[in-house]
Amino acid sequence: MAMYKTLLTDLTDNILTVTIHRPDKLNALNKDVIAELGEVVTEIYDNKEIRSAIITGSGQRAFVAGADISEFMGLSREEGQALSAKGSDIFFRIASSPKPIAAAINGFALGGGCELAMACHFRLCVTTAKFGQPEVNLGLIPGYGGTARTTRRVGKGMAMYLCLTGEIIDAREALRIGLVQRVVPAAELMNEARRIATTIASKAPLAIAACKRTINNGAHLSIDDALELEALEFGTLVDTEDIKEGTRAFLEKRKPVWKGK
Ligand code: COA
């Protein structure tokens, strides 16, 4: 594993835990964090020992309290667009990763923090977590996919509400609107994230990658195109070694041994 300045990493049992580590700034995403997130995503794609990843924040208070506001002053229009495009590109690679990436949200997930969490494949949070897209308070709009992904995660009405009011919502409300999938006590967050990652890692790898791809790509299609895509992806799996192993193991009443082939 590479060493990072703003990220702590731990690879145990094929699960990479990435901890964003700027606790004195509530893990705000400055240029260094964004650049290093890009590098670690490449590592997640390329390192065969990594089967899934969990992104969390350092300390007790914040997952990520947003993009680093101190870097917004004096930007030109082109620099602003480049800043947004770079973060969006990295978050898009997180969302498109063939390996599952979870957000373990240990506190504030505001602005870029909420956007980072939404780019992950599923989200768990502690009971004290807080979410919001408060960019309008600064004279801005979300820049790392916040308008696009809130709409897709919680629907257009709730996306409008969150982005226009900048309101901060708690974990219970985030669960109610479907922004997070699970709320747990702080002491259980990482164990629960690892339990889910381990469960996913125990399934057939090609099926997991195809399932993610189909949901991601199908989400933007009409229902008939999405069903056609599903049939195509289903078809690519039926002559794999893994489906033979999966069905044989079921009939022989044993656990399958996946090859990812
Ligand atoms: N960018 C840069 N620094 C940030 C930050 C951000 N998004 N969020 C917090 N920080 C820094 C604070 O400036 C402070 O640094 P300092 O100790 O050097 O002054 C430190 O983190 C602690 O934050 P503080 O505001 O003192 O904590 P708090 O408990 O009073 O408030 C928040 C917590 C999250 C409500 C508050 O920090 C906040 O509103 N942050 C910005 C949220 C935001 O607008 N995010 C979207 C950005 S686009």
Question: Which residue minimizes the CA distance to atom 29 of ligand 1?
Answer: 61
Q: Strand order in 62-64's β-sheet?
A: 62-64, 108-110, 130-132, 169-170
What pLDDT is attached to residue 261? 93
What pLDDT is attached to residue 141? 97
DSSP 244: H
Angstrom CA distances, 121 to 6, 30, 110, 124, stand at: 23, 23, 18, 10
pLDDT at 220 over 90: no
Q: What's this model's pTM, rounded to 2 decimal places? A: 0.95
What pLDDT is attached to residue 132? 98
Is residue 220 classed as helix, strand or coil in its secondary structure? coil
The C-alpha atoms of residue 64 and residue 57 are separated, in whole angstroms, by 6
Ligand 1 contact via 134 beta carbon (within 6 Å): yes
What pLDDT is attached to residue 116? 98
Pairing of strands 52-57, 101-105: parallel
Average per-residue pLDDT in the chain? Answer: 96
Dump pLDDT digits (tens) for 60-110: 999 999 999 999 999 999 999 999 999 999 999 999 998 999 999 999 999
Whether 230 is a known active-site residue: answer no
Ligand 1 contact via 69 beta carbon (within 6 Å): yes
Beta-carbon neighbour count of residue 140 at 10 Å?
16
Expressed in angstroms and rounded, the spacing between residue 108 Cα and the centre of ligand 1 is 10
Which numbered atom of ligand 1 lies nearest the CA of 137? Answer: 44
Question: Which residue minimizes the CA distance to atom 47 of ligand 1?
Answer: 66
Candidates 114, 119, 139; CA nearest to 129 is 114
Which numbered atom of ligand 1 lies nearest the CA of 108? Answer: 34
What pLDDT is attached to residue 34? 98
Which numbered atom of ligand 1 lies nearest the CA of 140? Answer: 48
pLDDT (mean) for 10-18: 96
pLDDT at 1 over 90: no
